[in-house]
Amino acid sequence: MSTEQRGLRVLVVDDHDVVQWGFRLLLERQSWVERCLAASSGAEAVQVCRKVQPEVALVDMLLGSESGAEVCEEIHQVSPGTRVLLISGAGIISPNVARAAGAAGFISKDWSAVDVVRAVRRVSQGHEVFAEAPLDSPLSEREQEVLSLIATGSTNKEIAGRLHLSPHTVKEHTSAIYRKLGVRNRAEATRQAQRLKILV
């Protein structure tokens, strides 16, 4: 029996109850979805995927203290057939960021219900789903300069001095870098940038 005939098993991974509930409610209404499960952490997601092997998993990019990109990789280790859609509440994610994690695309929390449903269906059929986004580095030239200095271990104060910026401006650039790369700290930002080959 094909996946389409028996229905999809979908996993929603988000640490916000309301978001998790909303996605589940939306997907459970679809005739082609057999089960819609939920997890609030990477560990829970891995446990569910090991047991159920869902066809599609929606994973928040910023999952508590975890990176959604890393959770995506962990899911693939226990359930290689699960296609992952990253969820972003911070606008468009570069396709490079999603692909580096092994994801098949992303869903923005700003998307309409119709677009979300269409994305899940298309990914389950083997397609990728990405909105219009830069195909190269998702970072601005200044953000890349800041990231390069972060990678050397420089503090915000030291970066400010090198680039003739205020510490506050450096902090804003750093926050933008974390958001665009879907990470939470300097180590993750450096690691992700190396994988994407965007460090200057």
Token pair for residue 6?
A: 């028996």
Lowest mean per-residue pLDDT among 39-53, 70-84, 88-102, 139-153: 88-102
**pLDDT tens-digit map of 152-198:** 888 999 999 988 999 999 999 999 999 888 888 999 888 888 777 77
Percent of the chain whose predicted confidence (pLDDT) is above 90: 52
Phi, psi of 177 (to 5 degrees): -60, -45
Q: Specify the pLDDT at position 134.
A: 45
pLDDT tier for residue 61 given thresholds of 50, 70 and 90 = confident
Q: How far is CA 100 from CA 15, 31, 161, 196, in A?
A: 23, 32, 33, 7
Quick check: helix, strand or coil at residue 52?
helix
* Class of CATH domain 3-124: alpha beta
**Beta carbons of 52 and 10 less than 8 angstroms apart:** no
Beta carbons of 158 and 149 less than 8 angstroms apart: yes
The amino acid occupying position 105 is G
Residue 121: pLDDT above 90? yes
Per CATH, the number for 141-196 is 1.10.10.10
Instruction: List own/partner pairs for 107-112 with CB under 8 A and 24 or more apart.
Output: 107/58, 109/19
Q: For residues 94 and 138, what is the distance between their CA atoms, to the nearest angstrom?
A: 6
- How many whole angstroms separate alpha carbon 154 and alpha carbon 161? 10
Alpha carbons within 13 angstroms on the beta-carbon side of residue 23 total: 31
Neighbouring C-beta atoms of residue 189, cutoff 10 Å:
23
The pTM of the full predicted model, rounded to 2 decimals, is 0.67
Instruction: Find out whether 33 and 58 touch, Cβ atoms under 8 Å.
Output: no
Over the chain, what is the mean pLDDT? 86
Which of helix, strand or coil describes residue 57?
Answer: strand
Whether residue 94 is predicted with pLDDT greater than 70 in this model: the reply is: no
Mean pLDDT over residues 137-162, rounded? 86
pLDDT for residue 2: 46
Domain range annotation of the chain: 3-124, 141-196
pLDDT of the residue at 144:
83
* pLDDT for 46: 96
